[in-house]
Structure 1
């Protein structure tokens, strides 16, 4: 018990003593109840059920000893601690108080400091006793529920005897077998030989017996744990049995819960890996399998907007869709909070499978789309065991999450990520900015009609002290995962503005493109910080072109429009990169206040060969309301 929640009853006919005690205990955070004589003290106990009683010995109408006896007579008063208050010389009263049932005593005059400490120790002791009582009660209950009985087997005659309560313990409606051969006949057929041999071995070699036996009689079945040993004269084996049917069922249930997720009822990772490895081991080694990791993007937004119950329902529905549309033999699991694992034969269509998952969820009667990203590893191409394949799928999923709307990313050969190296790289990355290892490069943008360089795109690079220049493909995902992209993003904006200002002083006016990550774009003060940076370096906002991917723009398009409009009002140019790889709506394209639309290269690589590509480019060009800058 803690002082903040403990209530203490003071029973004393002296108001001065009650005042002193009340003030001292109230300052310690205890609740205080008072009674001015023994009779009212008993009534106050019945009414308030205090956690501790401070009780004077000498009082009118009913002395302290009678109060103790009266309280102990109540069922609820058996264990409440009672601290008697008596004079130091009154040894007889102290003995009588303990005989009546007091827990402890304290001598008068009362020292408030000592009293508060004594109260704390007495309450602590009472709490420990309560825990012990609960444990003892649970042990006694377990013994009653253990369903124990006794048996006896005569060696020469084969006669068996059971304790009188054995049929009730087992729930058998008829007498238990009176001969060992009749008993063995009730044993599960697959275990009969073993049980017979074990009984004979124990009897003939005078050894102890410890065996679990499965009894079957029609629809009834029981699992008995039988223990025994030969008697002193070796003619009889005596022992005890325990019905462990319920215990084994409970163990199976516990095992199920240990290996299955309670919310979605899907296997957990350990069981998933075991089943997958068994499946791979049973195969010929040539039948390809796909192991996928699917992650629901930004589920926390659902939790924040509609509550965790709504988020749990999204997880349940997503898991149900995984089950409902899975081909026979597909293995599923829930890996983490919003991440799932799928293992399926390559002959099954993963495109159709993923399309069934990409549907609206209904929250409070409204349709809400929840994006997800997926990564995959292929057996045996990418790995030969379940754990490696899952690791590769996780890595591919992280790349898919950082991509531009692609739903599924496959692991690429040669990109195996060493776990230890990844951790070390992340550690170095945290120090890179302080060690001034980042540097910028500027990719020129050429106007085809005139051939002039009209702008550049600011790109970050990392000069590692041991590994040299590290590709952004390796460290940008780590910046995203750790959240350091916000700090590094601010540094990029600062460097880009500084370089743009330097070029303008030299008479070179170029548009400076800056890529914004999803985490940066979610910051409410991002626009203000960028504007402050331009003002600090003395460059107009129109010099910057802020670039986001289509995936960021379409995740919450209405919110995106609001943010983009604010940035445009400040004077910044807006660009969307990799357009056409996701699921953008042309309607939203008309609403977005854009200056630049970067069409994904997949649409222009074969533009001279494919009519469809040319038609798409013409449509996007006609629909894009690109204002002049």
Structure 2
């Protein structure tokens, strides 16, 4: 049984100390008491409590000063990161802000509500455990950053001062770095100096961002630096990133390998797999079968034994794939728990038996962390040429067969696409077939979720969300039909319809006297299409709305799949006047390097960081770091998934600009949204 956690109660009022301590002891905590800050600091050094409850008003050092002292290390290094809850009779924003500025974890107002205090203590202790794990992860990330030789710089155009991130000298392995623009030019050859000067002038004038490589001639060595920045400056400052790419240039082949191969399983990624398969289909007359194998319930292994155990299972599963198939087969890791294979056959006889046989070893138990783990899976197989003429079609039909096998069969691991139609229950096929007719039958519609500006409470925008009203099944869940749209390629036409409908609705609301911005999601497949910018420009022109009133949202994973192509498309859209946003930020690559380069207007913070923002200090730290970064870059922040008033209050205190979520309003159809916006506009006028 784990020992009871120790709490320190710091309050100059003996009655408050006694009542608080007594209530906490009844909840199973050990409690020590201090009457002032000095005594509390000594007790923390001797006892190292798990959490401290600190009164604001005390003789000598007040609660704010005590918290600052702990954070500065006066209570010992072991206590610097301890959760500190402030007890105060004040509930104004200034006191709350001062508490957080001092380093407090949370605050609670007097008179103390003991049940509420116990819950806040419990959440703070849990948050401390998560924060410890986060610090360890951040240390690993900092090490990775050093290994990648990344850093930041800032140029002040008014006095030519050039400053670097704290570890820049260490990254570049030198004792001192140039402290001015002119000093930097002195370390470059004439050609690099001219290129850098030209680029800086363009960035200062906001014409384009900085993105070039120069060779820095230091006393002991030469370093190749890649310098990047946003085209915008903030009050005469230009902020950018640098990377020492000296060693990187020697390992470009390795970088190419990592771009095309999955580092966990050492298998090709989806794009390389499809390219290789298309080459084989063009060069051979053999019959090819394409299989998709999806591991069932991998999340249970992750939950029970940890993510590392799940990764071990994936690596061993991939190894068995290689052992089960010959060297002529192609293999790849499609997604987290999904693999694809392509196998050549001399003829089609006994092909089904072949697939059942080679998959049998995949089901054997895996030994992970001393335990035997049985991995189940479902598979779908398509055949060339009858199920598809190219790699995309063959993969799509194999995926459809796999999904059908997973959801519509019992005690069956493998399903061939040609056998799917033999089943009476053909919902999987019929749903996709119905989806292909839905656009022509006008079954799609949009709902709109309002976005609120925290500074004044006004609703300044809406996000358009796609819905499908099936003639027989009613409204189909987006999670069910949007993946089908993506896989089938229908998302391109449907996405174009969404853009046009959003423009039409925006124009109609404007005639009703409602002025809001409209956010629409651009899918990965849409974003890859040539002519996207031209098509969007046609929509805004047709309905007479301004491009600046549309905010185009792309996900972080879409942006990072091909950063250079993304950059070109974003600049094309930006040139036409569209607002640009990164959606679900923080859930994928989180590359600050490209965040500096992309011409963005908005960063949407993923709801996974918002859920616990009121309880977990590390979530607040992450959100605050993002808002500070965005303020420096001139970006607006929008927090998604806000469901409680407490979350909203914290986000306001953390300088988030806009919020959206169920607390404010659920997604609504056009008329309901119009009524809502009118009501809010009238309320704002009255107030």
Please tell me the TM-score bracket, short chain as reference.
0.3 to 0.5
RCO comparison, higher one (Cα < 8 Å, 6+): 2
Structure ID, larger Rg: 1
State TM-score, norm by structure 1: 0.38
